[in-house]
Amino acid sequence: MHLVVKATGKNYFYGNLKALFDNHETDENDGTLGVSYNYMKNYDFSDGRTYENSVCVIRKGIIDTTTKKEWKRNNKNR
């Protein structure tokens, strides 16, 4: 998940929607995203759709990672 907070222009990246909301919808920041977790759970991100409101932009994508086997192969001399 990719979050852009419009007021600051800051970008945040999370492995899932729950982590995004756990970090940005707390009592400390008074629910600054302007959308509920339950609404976003059902939002259709298919075909590259993006959610946007006056506060933020939320995109869903794929995170590419290196497998443990690939990392060991590429770092065996370290």
Q: Encode pLDDT of 24-46 as tens digits.
A: 876 555 567 889 889 999 999 99
The residue-averaged pLDDT of 61-68 equals 78
Confidence (pLDDT) at 75: 78
Contact predicate 1/16, CB 8 Å: yes
The residue-averaged pLDDT of 48-74 equals 85
CA gap 56, 11 in Å, rounded:
10
Confidence (pLDDT) at 19: 93
Per-residue confidence band for 2, with pLDDT thresholds at 50, 70 and 90: very high
Residue 11 in 3-state DSSP? strand
Paired strand residues for 51: 58
Core vs surface per residue 14-24: b (16+ CB within 10 A) or e? beebeebbeeb
pTM score: 0.75
